[in-house]
Amino acid sequence: MTKQIVPIRSSTQEFIEIEDVSHNIVMFKDGSCAAIITTTAVNFGLLSEKEQEAIIYAYAGFLNSLSFPVEIIVRSQQKDVTAYLRLLEAQEKKETNPKLVKNIHDYRMFVAETVKEKDVLDKKFYIIIPFSYLELGASTKVLFGGKTRGLPYPKDYVYERALSVLTPKCDHVIRLLGRLGLRGTQLTSEQVKKYFFLAYNPSSSAPEGKPGSVPETP
């Protein structure tokens, strides 16, 4: 007798450790949380030797001034220049000066050929600031575990505690980045959702869903 095959109906979300995204932070299923800061970058190779040394010393000072752990992530994705090429094409059609039309056309062809021959990468830089579930305090789930997995405390309490810890840390990191000549910004809830969507779907573009909706991966 052939054994009946039961189809798998679980979605990818059941295997992802994210519980919720709100208040500009992400909450994981064990009660730990994290805030994500995106930052600008410096083209280190174009700096003079003295400027490079100054940046290195400033970066060392940044790391030494941290009294809590952080994670630095550099995400590289292939740059999609389709919209930019369409903009150039539209500008080329609008232009009435023949010389400018030729310059725009040549530049558009140059960009298109460059993208074909080389991988044009878009690099984004993030600093992750974690909040451990152990910082929530003792609970029966934390101390003794439980038969079922879940948050050790109600969600509202977890957010309250996490925000009280993460907010001053985010402000501190953003100030330190400013000393390096960088501009740091904490991701909003919607930006955090897009961040994780692209992390699990690197070849896709972030969907334009309803405000507050979390993209679901089938």
Question: If you compute the radius of gyration of the chain from its CA atoms, what whole number of angstroms results?
Answer: 23
Q: Are 88 and 108 in contact (CB under 8 A)?
A: yes
Give the pLDDT score at 21.
Answer: 94
Site of tokens 């501190």: 172
- Per-residue pLDDT 10s for the chain (218 aa) are 555 655 545 455 555 788 999 999 999 999 999 999 999 888 887 888 998 898 899 889 999 999 999 999 988 777 677 888 889 889 888 888 988 988 988 998 888 887 776 666 678 899 999 999 888 876 655 555 554 567 888 999 999 999 999 999 999 999 999 988 899 999 999 999 999 888 887 666 555 544 334 444 33
Domain boundaries, the chain: 12-77+123-200, 80-119
How many CB atoms lie under 10 A from the CB of residue 214? 15
Sign (positive or negative) of CA dihedral 178, 187, 64, 161: positive
| CB within 8 Å of 167: residues ≥ 6 apart | none
Domain 12-77+123-200 architecture: 2-Layer Sandwich (3.30)
Q: What is the pTM of this model?
A: 0.70
- Distance CA(61)–CA(99), nearest Å, equals 51
Q: Are 136 and 165 in contact (CB under 8 A)?
A: no
Closest by CA to 170, choosing from 189, 181, 186, is: 186
Q: Give long-range contacts, CB 8 A cutoff, 24+ apart: 50-57.
A: 55/180
What residues contact residue 131 under an 8 Å CB cut-off, 6+ apart?
25, 32, 33, 34, 35, 161, 162, 165, 166
Q: Can you say whether residue 145 is alpha, beta or left, with left for phi > 0 and alpha for psi between -120 and 50 degrees?
A: left
| Element of type H or E holding 179 | helix 155-179
Name the CA dihedral angle for 217, 151, 21, 201, rounded to a multiple of 10 degrees: -30
Tokens of 52: 């490079």
Give dist(CA 125, CA 38) in Å, integer.
Answer: 6
